Structure 1
Amino acid sequence: MPTYYFHIKHADYVVPDPDGETFPDLDAARKEAGEALRELVARAILSNQAELPQAIEIRDTQGHLAAEVHIEAAIPQIAHRNRDQ
């Protein structure tokens, strides 16, 4: 099973994932990244952080970008709200 690393993207910096996690496939990693991003956003809101994480980069063991989950995909209500403004 492949190992993927979830790097957390903010507006002007990235927090790297030094450990990684093993998943059956990239789709499973994408699903987990979406859940992780929702949790990170919720924590940021509850703790009144000024900045929300914008995305999670999913990288393979060589550091190549395999996929990216953006906040709008993880939390559709945010995308809907941004379109209405």
Structure 2
Amino acid sequence: MPIYYFHIRHADRIVHDPEGSEFPDLQAALHEANESLRELVAHALVSKQSSVPLGIQVFDEDGNLAVEVDIDAVIPQIRG
């Protein structure tokens, strides 16, 4: 199974995923990235963290950006 890396994008930095996770395909990785971003944002808001994740960049095993998930796509209420 392919390995995908989820790098979490904040306004001022990117937190890199050094290990990655196996998924059957990009669609499965994208689904997990959407769910993960929702959970990360919820956790940041509930715990009153100063930095809320703005997105997740999904990279493939070769280091290529496969897809990016933005906060406004997973939480439509954020859109201005």
TM-score (norm 2): 0.94
Q: Report the number of matched residues.
A: 80
Q: By how many angstroms is 1:51 displaced?
A: 2.0
Partner of 2:51: 51
> What code does the residue aligned with 1:64 have?
N
Partner of 2:14: 14
- Structural mapping, 1:65-76, within 5 Å: 65-76=65-76
> What code does the residue aligned with 2:72 have?
E
Q: By how many angstroms is 1:29 displaced?
A: 0.5
Distance in 2 (CA, whole Å) between partners of 1:71 and 1:53 is: 8
Over the aligned positions, Cα root-mean-square deviation in angstroms equals: 0.8
Q: By how many angstroms is 1:76 displaced?
A: 1.3
Distance in 1 (CA, whole Å) between partners of 2:42 and 2:67 is: 22
**Where does structure 1 differ by over 2 angstroms across 4 or more consecutive aligned residues?**
none
Secondary structure in 2 aligned to 1:30?
A: helix
> What code does the residue aligned with 1:22 have?
E
Give percent identity, aligned residues only: 57
TM-score (norm 1): 0.89
Structure 2 segments unaligned to the other structure (5+ residues):
none
Secondary structure in 2 aligned to 1:49?
A: coil
Structure 1 segments unaligned to the other structure (5+ residues):
none
Secondary structure in 1 aligned to 2:42?
A: helix
Q: By how many angstroms is 1:31 displaced?
A: 0.6
Distance in 2 (CA, whole Å) between partners of 1:74 and 1:2 is: 24
Distance in 1 (CA, whole Å) between partners of 2:28 and 2:62 is: 19
